[in-house]
Amino acid sequence: MDEKEELHLTSQELQVLSELDSRQFGFLKLRGTEHGRTRALVLKAVKYLEGMLVQVKEEERACSPGARRDICIDPKTYCKLGHFHLLLEDYAKAMSAYQKFYALEPDNWKDPLFLYGLGLCYYHYNAFEWATKALQMALYVSPGFTRAADAHLRLALMFKARRHWTIAAVHFRRARLAPHQDATFTRLELSFHAAHLLEARGLRKAARDAYERLLKEPQLSSTLKADVCRQLGWLYHRCVSLGEPAARARAAIWCLQRAVAAEPESGAGLYLLGRCFAAQGKVHDAFIAYRNSVEKSEGNADTWCSIGVLYQQQNQPMDALQAYICAVQLDKGHSAAWTNLGSLYESCQMPRDAFACYTNGGAAATASHSALRQRLAFLRAHLAHAPMPSVTGKRRQLPSIEEAWNLPISAEMSSRAPKSAPPPYPGKRPEEPPPLTQHQLQTLQFLQKNSNNLSPQQQVTKSEGSATGGDNAESLAEDLLKRFSDTQPEVKKEPISDSSSNAGSSGETVLGGRQPVVKLEPLKTDPLKPVSFHIGMNSKQILESCKENAGPPTAWSVLGDGCGPPEPPPVPPPRLSPEQLAPPAPFVYVESKRDAFSPQLQDFCLKHPIAVVRGLTAALKLDLGLFSTKTLVEAWPDHAVEVRTQLMQSADENWDPTGRRRVWACASHRSHTTVRKYAQYQAGSFQESLREERERGGANTATGGGALSDSDGRESGSGPVKRRRAARMLRFGTNVDLSDERKWRPQLTELQKLPAFARVASAANMLSHVGHVILGMNTVQLYMKVPGSRTPGHQENNNFCSININIGPGDCEWFGVPDAYWGGVRDLCERHGLSYLHGSWWPDPEELRAHGVPVYRFTQRPGDLVWVNAGCVHWVQATGWCNNIAWNVGPLTARQYSLALERYEWNKVQNFKSIVPMVHLTWNLARNIRVSDPRLHRAMRTCLLQTMRAAAGTLAAVRARNVPVRFHGRARGEASHYCGACEREVWHALLVREHERRHVVHCLACARRAAPSLAGFLCLEEHHMDELAQVYDAFTLHRPAPAAAHAAAGVPVAVPD
């Protein structure tokens, strides 16, 4: 950079620059004329900083190794450059700067402004997986983030595009709850997206009602009205369940005409209107609509394809050819246009060109279309024996595809109307997202493969030179950025005024040359005194430090301040051998009651990811008949049963509903029934199977018999056989609640015969210290199965261990993956377009092993107890008629507790509710047990420290806003509380506000978003702070005494793993 080049900035201009960051994106439109002066100021700062970075790079190159460097660049320089480029909508440079900051700053995850800006860049390039991760991290590290509404909306749209309906609905709901004065969208726009989600999920009537409610809104903008009318009209056109055909057709045309009137310059409504006219045989009206659509948006492949359909029906093949060529030139992946073009060539006796077009159509999107596959197979066989075309042959009706590609399109084509009605057009659905451009595809590949490095394509300037080594001398760029990095002021609601750049020269700062920068008065801030909290502090020191640093920590983790958010682990190296990828299941045989209660049995279970304990129920003389269907019907025939309707399939396969393609998605439909009705179904299913066996002449009628032999559904069979079996449905009775001791006392008493480590309630079971019921975890659930009933792949809630006993009489087949490999399973779920936490998936064992993930596979017989260790991924299928009982347990080990805490934090990142309240549980454990394992003690004390800090800070914050604080206490058996907005656990300080005639609990971050002054909120305190201080101080590492002393004292002690 030229030594004479100077940057003149006033103090007000520095103030403006210091306030610019990713939060202004969407609010501050620097491309428009309204903020021209601010744009000029940002461009001036960018030019100076980039020049300074170039100078640093040149000095580094000229400097000899080991020599002292005069300038050292703070990584925040790159982050600020990223913010500036983002506001200028220069996404390539913004991405480059953010990537540089990411590579240079180890604690980049602590900066929500960086994460939000990075997420916006990824979102722009349709890199949804990376954008999702960045935006989730921003919300995790800053629960009170001012742009939470925009972040949730983008997350919802990305999850909707990836067909993750449940989590998309969660984010739409949270976006609706966030204050919209800090959002770039209106509540009506959000309601439109939520209505479209209903339509995408197949809830057509609910979507129609939502669209019609929107049309009644008086404040609906013309653009949004056009969007709503377009979607509603198209919904009427294609959804047969919304009324009679004639009425639907009238409603569709009426809505689409309103859409065109609301937004005359848009061609989308005209295109759909043409489709509706064409379907009704109104050819002239259809062509006019298409022609007008082309005039509005010439680059719409769908419109040209529909025009081609009209010409083809009219028997105008040359005009149809030109229209189809227009469509595929605009969108080379337009499957409908390629397929229709193939049909046109085939009708003109040109099979080679038809085959080429059908091939492109199949490659584009419809390779699973059976009719297209059949046409391809027929033409392939025909062309294999057909002579090569002769140059002297008869004149062709159409030019070949190669010739047609280069034909000039007649300017008169759009003005010539066809003469008769077209068939329905089988084109793409208009709500599908547009394909990426070639540039976006290249950028997307870079983002996914090199997220930590810079690409040559992105090095558009020399500003990406890396900074290495150096002393602590500040550079001129750091002088400029000192204002940027010292504080992060809240964004003002009013737009930044451009008048600041016109300030007088008396307060001007000159940056340039080697002169020291004029020292400016600091912004009026009240920085908090940094305090280092550690578990060696007592409660008095913690509370005093919290008073000095008023307010809760902006983002706190139960894992500790120095720990970053947990992430899925990569598949551990080295790669396993084929034998290691299919390990034998660990079995242990219990022959006596003494074996059942030996410590070695618990040790065996804790050492393996999953284990089978055989003979335990017989050795303890458990009466499993108490859990049989017959006994259940006799005891409580009207007890509720949740039913999952599923496809019957082989255990190691999973096919889509058509039976043609192997997938991971495991579809099921939820309903409810009673024990009596399901028992009738279960018995009827067995009788039907016996009848089928007799009809086939089979002799296998054993009671525990496998309903499906391996040969019945495996891939060795023919295609049609698989399709017939895939179409057969079954009903799985799941989640039968056995928690009521008044109803199920005999059953629950029988389970007390089990050893302590496997009991539902035990002092050695963490979940027994929760203090309230968590259905299915510290209570028993029963499953009523017929052959083929599936429990899809999952990890247990918060990674707790689980117990499963097969009541019989049939078997179950189990699959398990060690917890160290769960990240590999998650990656494959994402690759298959499924949500690991919210989705329903059935993994392919061979695909897992091909990616280096070992899979256990074994059979659970009647009476077998399966121990699922902490974090083990597993899925189960019944091979016979049987019942199972299951519950969770939490061994008092450091490994179990740490895995539960890590999942608790990861669930926060993923916006997934943790049904085990780990904070509440930790404080109860601290009251009830003594810990002798240093690792467990350190993890628990860290959690106690972090939550005490957060509780004290929350109380200080609400009192500072004059919110009334009342002692509420906790009733015996009272359930833990969760925020009504974000579903995170709320402990000790409950911020309550009435909503729709009921009181809703909020965490502090969500309460602040709803009302910055906390007006209308009441704070309820669950504990006295003195009591918490006593519990914290009393929780010390216990030095183990002889076992006999512990037994005499009757105090549960957590021992090392």
Bridge-based pairing state of the strands 1018-1021 and 965-967: parallel
Q: HSE (CB half, 13 Å, CA atoms) of 126?
A: 15
923 and 830 inside one domain: no
What integer is the mean pLDDT of 132-138? 95
Rounded mean pLDDT, 293-319: 86
Asked if residue 212 belongs to a domain, the reply is yes
Q: How many helices (H) and strands (E) does the chain have?
A: 40, 23
User: What are the φ and ψ backbone dihedral angles of 781, each rounded to 5 degrees?
Assistant: -125, 150
**Which tokens is 442 given?**
């290249």
pLDDT in tens, 622-678: 999 999 999 999 999 999 999 999 999 999 899 988 888 899 999 899 999 999 999
| Range list of H helices, 21-73 | 36-62
Domain carrying residue 31: 6-126+438-512
* Residue recorded with tokens 């192997």: 662
User: DSSP letters of 963-975?
Assistant: --EEE----TTPP
What does the pLDDT look like over 699-735, one tens digit per residue? Answer: 444 444 443 333 333 333 333 334 444 468 999 999 9
Q: What share of the chain is helix, strand, coil (3-state, %, to 5)?
A: 50, 10, 40
Could you give the CA distance from residue 747 to residue 636 in angstroms, rounded to a whole number?
13
- Give the CA count within 13 Å in the CB-facing half-sphere of 801: 30
pLDDT of residue 66: 61
Q: Which two tokens mark 590?
A: 């219990």
Looking up residue 267, the CATH number of its domain turns out to be 1.25.40.10
Burial class (CB in 10 A: 0-12, 13-18, 19+), 312: buried
**For residue 492, pLDDT beyond 80:** no
Q: Is residue 641 part of a domain?
A: yes
**In DSSP terms, which residues pair with 874 in a beta bridge?**
794, 816
Site of tokens 């009628």: 701
Q: Tell whether 144 is covered by a domain.
A: no
Whether the bond between 389 and the residue before it is cis, its omega within 30 degrees of 0, is: no
Give the per-residue pLDDT at 461.
Answer: 34
3-state secondary structure of 963: coil
pLDDT of residue 596 exceeding 80: yes
Rounded to 5°, angle at Cα 60 from 55 and 64: 140
Same domain assignment for residues 553 and 499: no
When comparing pLDDT for 109 and 484, which is higher? 109
881 lies in the same domain as 946: no
Q: Is residue 466 a contact partner of residue 452, using CB atoms and an 8 Å limit? A: no
CA 734 to CA 877: how far, in whole Å?
Answer: 13
Give per-residue pLDDT as tens, 6-58: 667 788 888 888 889 999 999 998 887 888 889 989 998 898 888 888 888 88
Q: Please confirm whether the linkage preceding 530 is cis (ω < 30° from 0).
A: no
Question: What are the distances in angstroms from CA 349 to CA 142, 670, 959, 965?
Answer: 66, 51, 84, 84
Q: Is residue 312 assigned to a domain? A: yes
Q: How many structural domains does the chain have?
A: 4
Question: At 559, which amino acid appears?
Answer: L
| Number of residues that this document lists for the chain | 1057
**Pair 843, 949 in one domain:** no
Provide the phi-psi class of 89: left if phi over 0, else alpha when psi is between -120 and 50, else beta: left
Confidence of residue 220 (pLDDT cuts 50, 70, 90): very high
Q: Which of 248, 250, 295, 251 is nearest to 270 (CA)?
A: 295
Instruction: Give the pLDDT confidence of 410-420 residue by residue, as tens digits.
Output: 444 444 444 44
What average pLDDT does the segment 829-848 reach? Answer: 95
Do both 219 and 283 map to the same domain?
A: yes
**Whether residues 211 and 349 fall in one domain:** yes
Count other Cβ atoms within 10 Å, centred on residue 295.
Answer: 11
Please report which residue ranges of 718-821 form alpha helices under DSSP H.
Answer: 719-726, 745-750
Q: Which of 583, 582, 590, 584 is nearest to 865 (CA)?
A: 590
pLDDT exceeds cutoff 60 at 74: yes
Backbone angles phi, psi at 328, to 5 degrees: -75, -20
Residues linked to residue 334 through DSSP beta bridges, in sequence order: none
272 and 376 co-located in one domain:
yes
b/e map of 165-200 (b: 16 or more CB within 10 Å)?
A: bebbbbbbebbbbbeeebbeeeeebbbbbbbbbbbb
Q: Are 904 and 814 in contact (CB under 8 A)?
A: no
CB count in 10 Å sphere of residue 473: 11
Predicted pLDDT of residue 333: 82
3-state SS, residue 523? coil
Would you say residue 865 lies in a domain? yes
The enclosing domain of 603 has a CATH number of 2.60.120.650
Measure the CA angle with vertex 56, ends 51 and 59; round to 5°.
125
DSSP type of residue 563: P
Residue 403's pLDDT band (boundaries 50, 70, 90)?
Answer: confident
The answer to whether position 1033 is within a domain reads yes
676 with 824, same domain? yes
Specify if 162 maps to a domain: no
**What's the Cα-to-Cα distance from 144 to each of 26, 149, 906, 950, rounded to whole Å?**
19, 11, 18, 14
Provide the 10 A C-beta neighbour count for residue 894: 20
Among 457-466, 512-521, 681-690, 1034-1043, the range of highest mean pLDDT? 681-690
Which residues lie across from 734 on neighbouring strands?
Answer: 642
Confidence of residue 64 (pLDDT cuts 50, 70, 90): low
Structure tokens at 939: 């993890």
- Kindly tell me the sign of the dihedral angle through the C-alpha atoms of 636, 638, 641, 647: positive
Q: What is the pLDDT of residue 443?
A: 45
DSSP letter (8 states) at residue 757: G
Kindly state the DSSP code that residue 365 receives in the 8-state scheme: I
Mean pLDDT of the chain, nearest integer: 82
Name the pLDDT band for 440 (thresholds 50, 70, 90). very low
| CATH number of the domain enclosing 993 | 2.10.110.20
Q: Are 722 and 659 in contact (CB under 8 A)?
A: yes
Q: Which residue has the higher pLDDT, 693 or 606?
A: 606
- Report how far apart, in Å, the C-alpha atoms of 1006 and of each of 127, 185, 871, 918, 1041 are: 28, 19, 31, 20, 47
CA gap 253, 233 in Å, rounded: 7
Place of tokens 């964004």: 491
The token pair at 99 is: 């990537």
Supply φ then ψ for residue 858, to 5 degrees: -160, 170
548 and 634 part of one domain? no
Q: Is the dihedral of CA 240, 244, 246, 249 positive or negative?
A: negative
Same domain, 708 and 844: yes
The burial class, CB within 10 Å (0-12 / 13-18 / 19+), for 161 is middle
Q: Other C-beta atoms within 10 Å of 1040: how many? A: 13
Which of 437, 359, 480 lies closest to 15, judged by CA? Answer: 480
Q: Any alpha helices (H) in 105-240, and if so which ranges?
A: 112-124, 128-141, 148-161, 165-177, 187-200, 204-215, 222-238
Closest CA to 840 of 781, 914, 790: 790
Q: Is 670 part of any domain? A: yes
Counting residues of the chain whose pLDDT is more than 90, the rounded percentage is 57
Q: Which structure tokens are listed for 875?
A: 């899925």
The CA angle 596-600-603, to the nearest 5 degrees, is 115
In the chain, the percentage of residues whose pLDDT exceeds 70 is: 80
Separation of alpha carbons 998 and 992, rounded Å? 10
* Shared domain check, 442 and 411: no
- My answer on whether 936 and 882 are in the same domain is no
What are the residues facing 860 on neighbouring strands?
812
Split at pLDDT 50, 70, 90, the class of 393 is low
pLDDT digits (tens, 9 = 90+) for 522-555: 333 334 445 577 888 888 888 888 887 766 656 6
